[in-house]
Structure 1
Amino acid sequence: MVSHMSSPATSSDREKVVSKLPGWLRQNLKVRAAQHGLEIQTAVEQGISAWCDLASATAAVDTAGADSFATFLPPGQWEEFRRTAADRRVSLIQGLAQSVQLWLDTHPAPDIERPSITRRIIVCNQKGGVGKTAITAGLGEALAEDSNTLHPVRVAKALTKALRAREAHPDGAEPDDDPLDIENLPGPGLRVLLVDFDPQCHLTNQLGAAPLPMNGDSLTNHMAGDPKGDLRDLVVSVDDDTFGGRLHLLPACNDAFLLDVRLSAVRAREAALERALAPLEADYDVIIVDCPPSLGLSMDAAAYYGRRRNGESPGQSGALIVVQAEDSSADAYELLTTQIDDLRGDLQVDIDYLGIAVNLYDSRRGYIATSSLQGWVDIKDPRVIGLIGDLKEQKEAVRVKKPLLSYAPKSQQAVGMRALAREVL
């Protein structure tokens, strides 16, 4: 997925032209150019050039309702286009529409890049209340967004720049509203499974699903070697209107409180989560596991599931650590990294850190928040790859049990979740 546009040419070496295009054609052009990482003016230039090179005009395009459309073209191209349109006895509006349609026809939407090995992201921290569930949901939603629709994304925003900006606004004003830091980009369009691996069922409840009943089947049963059916039958789809059937959830069950006890009697228990989820992997590009705040066997199984597999590139799967900009998160971080490092040594496996996401950040908390954020930024390995503000939209989305990115798709938090998703990609 292209993460940014090519550099726009300055208008000084091009000439501005104004014509008309129907709204639907302009929207298709806007999306397709973004999918190919091109400026709109470059796509129009290529389309006009190709149209002028044809032996004759192409099929007529419906231009009803066309309204003003301006772009910048290389000097002389518009004059050549005008002459060609006159020779072909078509209006400039019709010629431009044919040129744009020709470019669309010869530049189809790129195929979505699907990983050869399903990517497994383990969202974790030993401390509760840091917002692991919100990050799990927001990341999954951002990865599943439609590739034929543009979404506002914060791009190439250095976190140290964000830190300095926030320190310069101690009154809590949000400096992140600068539109220069936001681009409208196509969604990744990936097939995503969210796994609620926490017996408290927060992810399940926040997305409006029902926790699984204690006397039925569950992920715990499958991990303990006592399945009561096909795990696929427990999976539910999340907000198909927004995510087009690409975002699914495996709900939690309160029986996960007993998981560590049940795992103690299982052979090769570190691989229990992998054995349970393996039959589902072919259906998904990414599986994201929302882990409980635990140091027990269940966390061992989650970390092992996120290990680097044979033939998998570094950084494709692994642990995404969620923290807050306050001191107790640092203590929990030490416990988690010690546990993962022990697993690496004991089992001789590679478990990659995908990065740190600093959640619930609020510069109005003053020095504690800004100095703690700087502490996370200074770690460098793993590096901070996401900064999500403590704003009302997430709380409101939880209250109404809707995904954040469909409840408030243009909110600062949604924009930040998309930036996090592109860092993970």
Structure 2
Amino acid sequence: MAASAKRAAKTPEGEVPIGPTGRPYQGFATPPALDGHGPARIISLCNQKGGVGKTTTTINLAAALAGYDRKVLAVDFDPQGALSAGLGIQTHDTPTVYDLLLDGKRDPYDVIVHSRVENLDVIPANIDLSAAEVHLVNEVAREQILSRVLRRVAADYDVILIDCQPSLGLLTVNALTASHGVIIPLECEFFALRGVALLIETIDKVRDRLNPTITLDGVLATMYDPRTLHSREVLERVVDAFGDDVLETVIGRTVKFPDASVSGMPITEYAPEHAAAQAYLRLARELVARGAVA
């Protein structure tokens, strides 16, 4: 039966609403406070298709986790620098992740910027990063350069989120090699499904050759519009293909996201009562419940 056709399920406690993924809706408990911070679990947000919500998810998930007293480092690993801009970080005439990749002796703490969100720091990026693949192609162990950078700061954070560029090139391989887990934001639109198999194949290759511990932390459905049959059918196909790897939290489509980006704020700060902000807070709780985040 289609997920959209189900309305409620019987449990020992009574009738429970069914969420968009076809599973009983869970609120997920507020994460308990941590006794201490670090070492960080590193998670890449990756999809070679552009416009699926990678940067929006990185910004708002980072802010949501920071709101639950997790120390978060967001790494802008896209030459477009959208994550940096979305958090109001200046990237002109300032050191960026590009400088860390090219200069192994550079202190990452000289590049880390404190955002306006408490507990959320950023390693920014700008268009200079587009030249990184050319410069790194002849480096020894070129796939592990970002990993060496992040190891130097991991002890001070609970989670590090890497916003990958929309490609499967050397930068994305660097991100996957550095990561413990991957979240795949997937737009609820037919063409977004077509490249996922290639992305999974790339993750498997990285696991086989470079990073045997990397895991798929979840597939996150984004830009979901329950009013359209197309959106519901795509989500149903995603659940059929990935099963329990599909996160129960679903991110809806809303104009509030670009409004928040223009303001240089996560939606959890810009419109904290909005359904989209509540969805990202729920996503943060779900990832803690799943053990993907401390």
Structure 1 and Structure 2 fold alike (TM over 0.5) = yes
Is 1:279 the equivalent of 2:156?
no
Cα deviation code 1:119-158 (max 9, x no counterpart):
111011000001100100111111011xxxxxxxxxxxxx
Instruction: Name which of 251, 258, 261 aligns with 1:388.
Output: 251
Moved over 4 A (4+): 113-116
CA contact (8 A) 1:359 1:389 kept: yes
CA contact (8 A) 2:146 2:178 kept: yes
Cα deviation code 1:231-250 (max 9, x no counterpart):
2122222224xx3xx11111
Summarize the alignment of residues 76-95 of structure 1 with structure 2, pairs less than 5 Å apart: none
| Unaligned stretches of 5+ residues in structure 2 | 1-12, 14-28, 289-294
Summarize the alignment of residues 229-240 of structure 1 with structure 2, pairs less than 5 Å apart: 229-240=106-117
Seq. identity, %: 34
Counterpart for residue 295 of structure 1: 168
Counterpart for residue 314 of structure 1: none
Is 1:264 the equivalent of 2:137?
yes
Instruction: Name which of 171, 193, 204 aligns with 2:84.
Output: 204
The number of residue pairs the alignment matches comes to 261
Quote how far apart the aligned CAs of 1:348 are: 6.0
| Helix, strand or coil at the partner of 1:380 | helix
Cα deviation code 1:190-226 (max 9, x no counterpart):
110111000000111111111243xx53322322345
Summarize the alignment of residues 72-221 of structure 1 with structure 2, pairs less than 5 Å apart: 111-114=33-36, 117-145=39-67, 188-213=68-93, 217-221=95-99
Instruction: Name which of 227, 239, 243 aligns with 1:377.
Output: 239
TM-score norm. by structure 1 comes to: 0.58
CA contact (8 A) 1:236 1:250 kept: yes
Distance 2:246 2:35 in 1: 25
Counterpart for residue 292 of structure 2: none
CA contact (8 A) 1:376 1:384 kept: no
CA contact (8 A) 1:218 1:231 kept: no
Quote how far apart the aligned CAs of 1:254 are: 1.3
| Unaligned stretches of 5+ residues in structure 1 | 1-7, 9-33, 38-109, 146-187, 308-317
Counterpart for residue 346 of structure 1: 209
Q: Which structure is richer in relative contact order (CA contacts within 8 A, separation 6 or more)? A: 2
Cα deviation code 1:13-37 (max 9, x no counterpart):
xxxxxxxxxxxxxxxxxxxxx97x9
Counterpart for residue 18 of structure 2: none
Counterpart for residue 23 of structure 2: none
AA aligned opposite 1:230: D
CA contact (8 A) 1:219 1:276 kept: no
Counterpart for residue 84 of structure 1: none
Quote how far apart the aligned CAs of 1:116 are: 5.3
CA contact (8 A) 1:320 1:356 kept: yes
- Computing the radius of gyration over CA atoms, which structure comes out larger, 1 or 2? 1
Quote how far apart the aligned CAs of 1:327 are: 1.5
